[in-house]
Amino acid sequence: MVEFRVGHQFLVGKTTLTTFTVIDITDHNRSFSVVCEDGKVKNFCVDDEYIFGHYTNNITQPETQDTEGRFTVEGEDMEEHTTPWEVGTKVSFEVDLGGARLKVEGYIVRNYWSNYYLLSEKGVSVPNRYWKVGHSKCTKVI
């Protein structure tokens, strides 16, 4: 059985195929938040949708930690972006953890604090594992 993770993609449909990218795990290996190829975010349930193809996007290494949790990364300034990025935008940030500098990629899943995004982490397969990251620490990934 495939272990679905943040960053995986699906081709969904019976006659017309649409590409969905997993941006958040809501129920382990069953339901997700996805961003569609047109940029819209929606809920996706494996039981309700016809999956034509699945792409891992080279996300094959085991997770460093497969537990729930929320981690905060303070921003350098407390000014809010004049135009914050949309939910579903792929971003990266760097953080010092245990003496190591880590570069983390993920997706914006919420933007309801004045200076912070709630981000999922690329490669994660468990629900409720997020980073709360200051706007000034995020870089948009193209």
pLDDT(25) > 90: yes
Instruction: Name the pLDDT band for 29 (thresholds 50, 70, 90).
Output: confident
pLDDT(9) > 70: yes
DSSP string, 30-51: TEEEEEETTS-EEEEETTTS-E
Cβ neighbors of 57 (< 8 A, separation 6 or more) are 7, 8, 9
Which CATH code of 1.10.3470, 3.90.1570, 1.10.3210, 2.30.30 fits the domain covering 69-140? Answer: 2.30.30
Instruction: Name the pLDDT band for 97 (thresholds 50, 70, 90).
Output: confident
Instruction: Name the pLDDT band for 64 (thresholds 50, 70, 90).
Output: low
State the DSSP code for 85.
P
Percentage of the chain with pLDDT > 70?
87
In whole angstroms, give the CA distance from residue 120 to residue 106: 5
Q: What are the sequence ranges of the domains in the chain?
A: 9-55, 69-140
- State the average pLDDT for the chain: 86
Q: Residue written as tokens 């085991």?
A: 62
Cβ neighbors of 36 (< 8 A, separation 6 or more) are 18, 19, 20, 42
The answer to whether 25 and 125 are in contact (CB under 8 A) is yes
